[in-house]
Amino acid sequence: MSTYSKEVFRKTLHVAVLFFTIFWFYMYEDWKKSVFTIAVVLIIVYPILLLLSKVPGMTKLVNARKTGEFANSFAALMIMFIVVASICWGWLGDRAIGIASIFAWGPGDAAAALIGKKFGSIKIGRKHKKSLQGSIAMFVFSFASVIAVYMIFGKYNVAFTVLAALLTAFVSATVELLVENGFDTFYCPVSAMGVLVLFEMIWRL
């Protein structure tokens, strides 16, 4: 399997898990139950994934770039959900902000990786491993995702939604560019959440 095909596999799995988080936002009416069950899943599944990653040939079989990649990505995703759900759904009482925060990262991150690897001729970032084309893809998909989520949930007016989406996409693309070693799974949605929570507080005023 080619390097690009491996990346497609990883990002397809990544997007599939992304939609799983929406299900978890609606699995329970009480946010505490949702967060608690995610924490339980993390405690049980993470050690199993970590042990499986030590099995000879497993890293190659699942097209992981390094040993323990999926286990660590899974942990980052679960912790991110706990933080985002607790603040957006628990504190603000608004699932839409949480979902928008996660989608401000997910589709854009996949697009950045795939477009960056295919067409990323202009290298940027601290280690020059990422590309301008990938960062632009991250911005565009992040912007479109926030717009789509907020339109579905009927939040704000058009101008305020566009402004919120623009700033969120800019922050998400910047964080994705700067963060290394897969930690964008946590930092991108959380930074997007910070922007969207700020806009929510301004809107409520």
**Mean of the per-residue pLDDT values of the chain:** 87
Q: What is the arithmetic mean of pLDDT over 137-161?
A: 96
At 119 the pLDDT is 87
Contacts of 18 (CB under 8 A, 6+ apart): 102, 103, 106, 107
At 23 the pLDDT is 85
At 57 the pLDDT is 63
Largest CA distance in the chain: 57
- Does position 1 have pLDDT exceeding 80, yes or no? no
Read off the pTM: 0.89
- Contact status, residue 57 vs residue 166, Cβ threshold 8 Å: no
Closest CA to 95 of 154, 198, 145, 26: 26
Range with lowest mean pLDDT among 7-11, 34-38, 149-153: 7-11
At 180 the pLDDT is 76
> 158 pLDDT band (50/70/90 cuts)?
very high
Tell me how far apart the alpha carbons of residues 63 and 70 are, in angstroms, rounded to a whole number. 10
> 59 pLDDT band (50/70/90 cuts)?
low
- Contact status, residue 191 vs residue 85, Cβ threshold 8 Å: no
- Does position 80 have pLDDT exceeding 70, yes or no? yes
> 14 pLDDT band (50/70/90 cuts)?
confident
Closest CA to 125 of 185, 194, 174, 186: 174
Tell me how far apart the alpha carbons of residues 21 and 105 are, in angstroms, rounded to a whole number. 13
- Contact status, residue 39 vs residue 86, Cβ threshold 8 Å: no
Pairwise pLDDT comparison (70 vs 115), residue with the higher score? 115
Q: Is 125 left (phi over 0), alpha (psi -120 to 50) or beta?
A: left
- Contact status, residue 120 vs residue 131, Cβ threshold 8 Å: yes
Pairwise pLDDT comparison (113 vs 101), residue with the higher score? 101
> 70 pLDDT band (50/70/90 cuts)?
confident
At 42 the pLDDT is 94
Helix (H) or strand (E) holding 130: strand 130-131
